[in-house]
Amino acid sequence: MKTLKLAVPRRSSWYACITMAFLHYFLTPSESGASPAAAVLIRAVSGAALTAVLLAICGLRKVDVTRLGPWTIGLFIWFALINRLQNAQLLAVMFSFMLLSFALVGCEAKSRSRGLTVLEKPLTYLVIFWVFALLLQISLFAISGQLVDLHAILHPLSEARIYGVADLFRFTGVHIEPGTYANWLYALVMLRAMISGRLYDRISLFAVLSILFALSAWGLIAVAIFLFGYFVSKISDMTKRGIRAAALAVLLLTGFGLFVYSQFGEHLPALVDYFVLRSELEDVSGSSKVQALAGFKQLAPQLFIVGMPLSTDFCGGCASPQDAGFLLNIAVYAGMLVAIALFVMIFVAAYREFGVTGALAALPLAFAKFIFYEPMFWMIFGAAVVRIRFGIGLHPNPPKHDKSFTLPTTYKKYDLNL
């Protein structure tokens, strides 16, 4: 059997940037006009290319598929039986994204056993990139008075939907909608936390605070939950570092609040009215939630164990059934018991790593506006399964909250048995 010597950089910025680009296109939803399949194809090709690169690094026969293999096979069989071998296209999309997501997490888990990390740094770069893009869009608008569609620049077949509230705009960064930015960035912060073991660090704090610029009602609740967990975590630490971090966060929030008030204070009444209106669930998103919940209640007696086929329209033709939350949607298509089991795995993994505040921070994921095949969710779930099943999680046992933990900047050769 031939052995290939592959030199892999342990900390390589160029590698992280390339991997980040693939991750962006795999995880970021877009539209493609008259050909919706093109957007799905772009995501699938990006995920497949990234998986191929990571498999080459980890070794084609070295990835321990038993980590997530049973879940992959079990979920595929379950959904195939529910759909009675119908809805082949939807099943193919869901299974492809699920398989690619689990493969990426498996590659990361395998690389950790060798002292490498193939996803942690790219995920960090992607968080920073998404936040930077939002701030760049806001800055360009403040300077020139024009809205630059960064989403359309990176996704030429798609176009962002930037809404206005009073005299303000709900910025989207590189995403298609403000709500997409809020949901996907928060989920990315949680995915990075599952992979790296770092939830309440400065990068996560700044990223979550940036969600406020999207003026998302969901994002406002998610930010409040995260900040509550952040302060409880830092204060309960009862060390100088924890107290300093909490004090820094208070100063940061105070400064941020004063800046927002000085710049947009005159618009605060309109913003309050806007969020009150959103709470009444009378807009498109709100009515979709109401219709989806009504449809779920009607089908609930049939959904306790077995779900409905993926083509089932349970919300009476509403615009976006995913607005009712991923937990409700997956309960319709997989059954309540499976849906609950999926999220229990995530909550348990977050609790084991970060305690009660970690489980609390994972709560918004249950109400995230993901469609059933969304790779972001399946990567988070895959990371949770690995963390629970193998106890130590994905990171090579760094001291918790120890920011001094880094991998050495060296190259090391590994034997990849091909």
72-92 per-position pLDDT tens digit: 888 989 998 998 877 888 899
pLDDT band at 344 (very low <50, low <70, confident <90, very high): very high
Kind and range of the H or E run holding 414: strand 411-417
Most confident among 104-118, 231-245, 353-367 (mean pLDDT): 353-367
Q: Quote the mean pLDDT of the chain.
A: 80
More confident residue, 292 or 40: 40
Q: Is the pLDDT of residue 226 over 50?
A: yes
More confident residue, 51 or 242: 51
Pick from 253-257, 305-309, 350-354: least confident: 253-257
pLDDT in tens, 162-201: 776 656 678 889 999 988 999 999 999 999 999 988 898 8
- Partnered with residue 413 across adjacent β-strands are 7
- According to the model, what pLDDT value does residue 231 have? 82
- According to the model, what pLDDT value does residue 366 have? 94
Q: Is the pLDDT of residue 355 over 80?
A: yes
pLDDT band at 326 (very low <50, low <70, confident <90, very high): very high
In terms of Cα–Cα distance, which of 33, 15, 233 is closest to 122?
Answer: 15
Check: CB of residue 365 under 8 Å from CB of residue 194: no
Q: Is the pLDDT of residue 8 over 50?
A: no
The three-state secondary structure class of 127 is helix
Check: CB of residue 367 under 8 Å from CB of residue 325: yes
Phi, psi of 116 (to 5 degrees): -105, 170
pTM value is: 0.85
Look at the block and give the residue holding tokens 């939350």. Answer: 325
More confident residue, 402 or 26: 26
Burial (CB count within 10 angstroms: exposed 0-12, middle 13-18, buried 19+), residue 279: exposed
Pick from 2-11, 72-81, 140-149, 218-227: least confident: 2-11
Phi, psi of 17 (to 5 degrees): -65, -45
Q: Is the Cα dihedral 254, 275, 160, 124 positive or negative?
A: positive
User: Quick one: average pLDDT of 17-32?
Assistant: 90
pLDDT band at 278 (very low <50, low <70, confident <90, very high): low
- According to the model, what pLDDT value does residue 269 have? 63
Q: How far apart are alpha carbons 323 and 67 in whole angstroms? A: 32
- According to the model, what pLDDT value does residue 272 have? 62
What number of residues does the chain have? 418
User: Quick one: average pLDDT of 201-219?
Assistant: 89
Q: How far apart are alpha carbons 246 and 401 in whole angstroms? A: 14
pLDDT in tens, 54-64: 887 776 555 55
